[in-house]
Amino acid sequence: MSQQIGILAMFKHLDTVCHAVEKVKGRTDFKDHEVYSPTSYHEIEHACAFSPSPVRWFTFVGAMTGTVTGFALALLCDWDWPVVVGGKMPGIFSLPAYVVLGFEFTILFGAIATVAGVLVMCRMPNPKVKILDKRLTDDMFGIWVPGAVVDGPQAKLLKEAGAVEIKATR
């Protein structure tokens, strides 16, 4: 999407960009616009009114898979070849000892799935990423509107909302 032609409006201040986001939200001529921020300001997140991230489902499914895997690993190995230590029977009778394994696998699989979820939802890795403006990862904010032109109505609205610079991207 970032490869398309459009305009990038640069903002210097957090409150200004939030105000601009509120103004363009839901407008058909700003369809698929993207907001850029140098860090994760919650004000922008609130202004964009995103629904809860699906990453949480990745975490949940990963963690539950881990729990099952941890217990299954120990129990299936016991079923295949019981290792009797100190006269104590393995298998279901040793379940409390396997809680450690279940716990560790829950965390491990949950963490891996969470990172996978972040990567999938953020569309990463993306080696063909186009950097719209170097200042966006430094101290400036931006709103990118696909299909818009520098002298179009979208640019005018963003300028009025406080954009310090409007430039074309391609």
Rounded to the nearest whole angstrom, what is the least distance from the CB of residue 14 to other proteins in the complex?
A: 5
Helix spans in 25-130 (H): 42-48, 55-80, 95-121
The yes or no reply on residue 35 touching other proteins (CB under 8 A) is yes
Phi/psi at 119 (nearest 5 deg)?
A: -65, -45
48 counts as binding other proteins under rule CB under 8 A: yes
DSSP bridge partners of 10: 142, 165
In the set 9, 20, 67, 110, which binds other proteins (CB under 8 A)?
Answer: 110
Asked if residues 162 and 11 have their Cβ atoms less than 8 Å apart, the reply is yes
Residue 81 makes contact with other proteins by CB under 8 A:
yes
In whole angstroms, the minimum distance from the beta carbon of 151 to other proteins comes to: 25
85 binds other proteins (CB under 8 A): yes
Q: In the complex with other proteins, which residue's Cβ is closer, 26 or 125?
A: 125
Q: Helix, strand, or coil here: 34?
A: strand
